[in-house]
């Protein structure tokens, strides 16, 4: 399917690994000119080299800590100076942070909110003026279904993702008149760099014998009985960021193999 985004400028945060890299890869394959943001330059350089092998559009990287407003303003200043505008924004920066309420403290909550909620706000504010002027834009926020229905020991991620879902819906109401569509992909268990770290730690601790056993255990409650692939999440995000999704806004789409207890 031609997503109709050839020549569009896309920024993907958390773009050096996992879902972000997969999303950037697909957008670049569809002809978008993609800029990936992340904190670690070496990981960014490796991702650019990998993505460029299949890219039709351009691919480049800018180091940025999205939880820091000054860093965001600096990074987007470089992007806007080079490209003039941003048409597609994927707010993907984040990581799993699942703890009990007993374990939750202010430092943990503040860090999670700054990265996932403040970061999405900072980045969105950088691109919205140009999207409004052009009367076309797409913003896709990565969240999880735990933001709709929190489970046991899912804090503070469930809290920050609930805020992200609420922000998505509110933004969609505000900016739809300007031709800007805002959606969120609620991602479940994915075979990503982050989950690989968890799998390797589980092997090292003796919890499981191999990484595949870890993944098997992770999907015991997933109706399709398998873990998702990063590219599958990237496919959904790229679709929501495309011309093909021109009448979809304010949605929170579960991409979790049917695991969520809510629609």
| Among the listed residues 36, 83, 39, the one whose alpha carbon sits nearest the alpha carbon of residue 59 | 36
- Angle 126-127-132 (CA atoms, 0-180°, nearest 5)? 125
Is 152 a known active-site residue? yes
C-alpha distance from residue 164 to each of 41, 94, 112, 118, 143 (Å): 27, 12, 12, 9, 7
Q: What share of the chain is helix, strand, coil (3-state, %, to 5)?
A: 50, 20, 35
Radius of gyration over alpha carbons of the chain, in Å?
Answer: 18
In the set 122, 152, 175, 215, the catalytic residue is 152
Residues 13, 118: Cα–Cα separation, whole Å: 13
Phi, psi of 238 (to 5 degrees): -65, -40
| Among the listed residues 24, 26, 126, the one whose alpha carbon sits nearest the alpha carbon of residue 85 | 126
Residues 18, 15: Cα–Cα separation, whole Å: 8
Beta strand segments in 111-194, E: 137-143, 155-156, 180-187, 190-191
Q: Give me the active site residues, please.
A: 152
């Amino acid at each position: 399917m031609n997503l109709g985004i050839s020549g569009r400028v896309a920024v993907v945060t958390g773009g050096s690994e996992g879902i972000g890299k997969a999303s950037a890869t697909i957008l670049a394959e569809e002809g978008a000119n993609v800029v990936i943001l992340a904190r670690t330059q070496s990981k960014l350089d490796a991702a650019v080299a990998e993505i460029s092998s299949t890219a039709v559009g351009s691919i480049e990287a800018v180091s940025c800590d999205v939880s820091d407003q000054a860093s965001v303003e600096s990074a987007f200043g470089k992007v806007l100076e080079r490209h003039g505008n941003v048409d597609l924004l994927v707010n993907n920066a984040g990581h799993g942070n699942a703890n009990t309420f007993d374990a939750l403290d202010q430092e943990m909550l503040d860090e999670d909110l700054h990265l996932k909620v403040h970061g999405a706000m900072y980045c969105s504010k950088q691109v919205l003026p140009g999207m409004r002027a052009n009367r076309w834009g797409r913003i896709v926020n990565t969240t999880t279904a735990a933001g709709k229905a929190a489970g046991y020991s899912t804090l503070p991620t469930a809290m920050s993702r609930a805020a992200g879902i609420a922000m998505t819906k509110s933004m969609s109401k505000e900016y739809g008149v300007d031709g800007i569509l805002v959606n969120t992909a609620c991602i479940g268990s994915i075979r990503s760099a982050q989950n690989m770290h968890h799998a390797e730690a589980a092997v090292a601790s003796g919890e499981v014998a191999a990484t595949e056993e870890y993944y098997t255990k992770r999907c015991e409650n997933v109706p399709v009985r398998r873990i998702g692939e990063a590219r599958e999440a990237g496919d959904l995000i790229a679709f929501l960021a495309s011309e093909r999704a021109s009448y979809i806004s304010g949605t929170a789409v579960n991409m979790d193999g049917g695991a969520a207890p809510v629609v």
